[in-house]
Amino acid sequence: MDLDDRDRRALPLEAFLSGRPPAYVLAVAVLFVVGVGVADSLIGPNISIAPFYVLPILIATWNLGRAWGFLVAGLAAVAMQLAHVRSVETNVLVPSWNALVWYAVFLFVVWLLAIIRDHAKRQRSQLESQEEVSDDLRAQNDMKNTLLHAVSHDLKGPLAGILGAMQT
């Protein structure tokens, strides 16, 4: 099984977004934030769907990098604040504070995921270089076996005559 096939099977969203232009991936992440924000606004402040804001942040960070992840995290915090600001609470500071706290959590998620992404890229690069070295070594081993077979076949005839003469 090819490495790319395993990646596609393990991470279908990554496989779907990996060949897309960055603007497309960013649009998917922003639309996801808007969708979660609308759902959050409709559900109301009594039920939190804050973890769902993490999904578009993960999409942006994994596919576009840390800076875009920070941007989508900011959009998610703003969407969360806008979804809760119209609630029955009299003070606008409560949803603003909650959005700020969640923004800090989102930034931490982006930071950690960017580290994981960089590490995974390094491992993939090392794996590809090791596969190239392994293929080269296999080719050299096949060449060695071919040469040894040819040499042993060529030496087998004269040695048989010499050994036969020595035994008689």
What would the pLDDT profile of 41-61 be if each residue is shown by its tens digit? 999 878 889 899 999 999 999
- What does the alpha-carbon distance between residue 141 and residue 149 come to, in Å, rounded to a whole number? 12
List the beta strands (DSSP E) in the chain.
none
Assigned domain for 145 exists: no
Residue 164 falls within a domain, yes or no?
no
Residue 152 within a domain: no
Which residues lie closer than 8 Å to 108 by C-beta, 6 or more apart?
Answer: none
Establish if 94 belongs to a structural domain: yes
The total domain count for the chain is 1
Q: Is residue 162 part of a domain?
A: no
Dump pLDDT digits (tens) for 89-138.
667 788 788 889 999 999 999 999 999 999 999 999 999 999 999 999 99
pTM recorded for the entire structure: 0.71
State the angle between helix axes of 66-85 and 93-167 in degrees (0 to 180), rounded to the nearest 10: 150
**107, 54 contact by CB (below 8 A):** no
Asked, for residue 96, whether it belongs to a domain, the answer is yes
Percent of the chain residues past pLDDT 90, beyond the cut: 53
Please check whether residue 156 lies inside any domain of the structure: no
Weakest-pLDDT range from 6-20, 30-44, 103-117: 6-20
In a domain, 135, yes or no: no
Rounded distance between C-alpha atoms, residue 125 and residue 119, angstroms = 10
Q: Is the pLDDT of residue 68 over 90?
A: yes
Q: Which of 15-19, 59-63, 65-69 has the lowest mean pLDDT?
A: 15-19
Domain ranges, residue 61? 3-126
